[in-house]
Amino acid sequence: MRASYFGMAAASALLAAQPASADTVCEWMDLANRLGAAAQAAPAPQLPEQMRGTTRAALAMFEALNAIDRRYQSYLGFEPGDRTASQDAAAATAAYRVLVHHHPAQKAAIEDSYTLAMAGIRDERAREAGRTIGEKAAAAAIAAGGIDPAVPQEPYRPRTTPGEWIGASLPSLEPYWAAFRPWAIPSAEALRPPPPVPLTSARWARDYDEVRRLGARSSTERTPYQTLVARYRQAFDTMPSMRQAADAPGRTPVQNARMFAVYQMAFDDAAQAMVVAKLHYNYWRPITAIRNGAADGNEATQPDPDWLPLLPTPNFSEYPCGHCTVAAAIAEVMTAEVGNRPAAGVRIMSQAIPTSVVQTLPSWDEWAQEVSDSRIYGGVHFRFSNEAGERIGRRAARIVLDKVMQPLPRAKKRR
């Protein structure tokens, strides 16, 4: 990656900062993602603060690098720093401090990674200057985007007719989701979609029938490829595309850190709006609707008391679709970053099938649409719910893109 350009008033005044490689930002983001995934999979409930760890790591790296190579508006009001500081040291320190704060049980392993990263920076003065900037950026990022104590966290109350049994397992969406301070959207409620379609409508009957036919475990209409897509898209990994974007010729370290920070902020804001909508509407899943199709008041729906979905039904309400929400937000952010149809395609891995190879799709929109379709093939969502989620994701991403970390006028001219 080429060194960052700062402009030149005179030859003697040119002080080129030590540039970070794309790998510095990508590797720490990869570690942040793996730590976050491990925290989600742990038996103990995930703490609210851990939910923002990956985003804060990206934000801290952005602020640290932007302090050295000033190209964008600071999100946190962070002041410019030493332009000759090591960008590798600043980025690594910023991410390290955030991740240790959010994942204290993994402190020893994170410290080992940090020690190795810093040992590779030979210029002691530049390294220490970068360390100082990274420490300050991490502290600022850790203080941002937390829980708003003024927002009540209402515990989930199962809704049922008094005296009638329902499943006793509480949903896995915790009430603290509603209390996060959004990064850019006005509020989670501001992006709430309209209510689900009426059960007596033709649209309900059409979407009901689609998931009944294509999403059944025993479906004879779902193709083998659609079955694979349903499984492959359960947990997607966009890091191959992120690395591809970060390694493009002419990219700067701060540009890459900004890409990750915007990505994470859009993800968080879209996900928060989606979760709050789910908790508000408490809408039934296909397995409940199709097994009770005779009671929905629509003569066009065909009930199937034995119906089972291809995939396990998530333990929370259906509307709007979560995968569809975040995939649409990601597609919007990455289209703004690299275009809808990158020359090398959109490269995606699957965390649900770790032994699978990277898949390449032509465009971000086609990938997002495939994610959306996959939830129908899996038998866990209705089409109208997918579309509602997609709208939330696109809206949240556009707000983030329009409001945060805008290029400075001088940076616009030199890019």
Low-confidence ranges of the chain (pLDDT < 50): 1-21, 415
How is domain 177-414 classified at the CATH fold level? Vanadium-containing Chloroperoxidase; domain 2 (1.10.606)
pLDDT at residue number 257: 97
Among the listed residues 109, 110, 80, the one whose alpha carbon sits nearest the alpha carbon of residue 97: 110
pLDDT at residue number 45: 67
pLDDT at residue number 44: 66
Tokens (6 digits) for 100:
């240790």
pLDDT at residue number 14: 28
Cα–Cα dist 340/342, whole Å:
6
pLDDT at residue number 411: 56
CB 393 within 8 Å of CB 270: yes
Burial of 346 (0-12, 13-18, 19+ CB in 10 A): buried
Q: How far is CA 102 from CA 48, 51, 54, in A?
A: 10, 9, 9
Task: Look up the pTM and report it.
Answer: 0.91
Cα–Cα dist 198/270, whole Å:
25
For residue 351, the 8-state DSSP code is S
Cα–Cα dist 314/171, whole Å:
9
pLDDT at residue number 94: 98
| CATH 1.10.606.20 domain position(s) in the chain | 177-414
Torsion angle (degrees, nearest 10) of CA 100, 103, 105, 110: -40
pLDDT at residue number 156: 86
Among the listed residues 179, 52, 183, 35, the one whose alpha carbon sits nearest the alpha carbon of residue 111: 35
Pairing mode, if any, of strands 359-361 and 236-237?
A: unpaired
For residue 84, the 8-state DSSP code is T
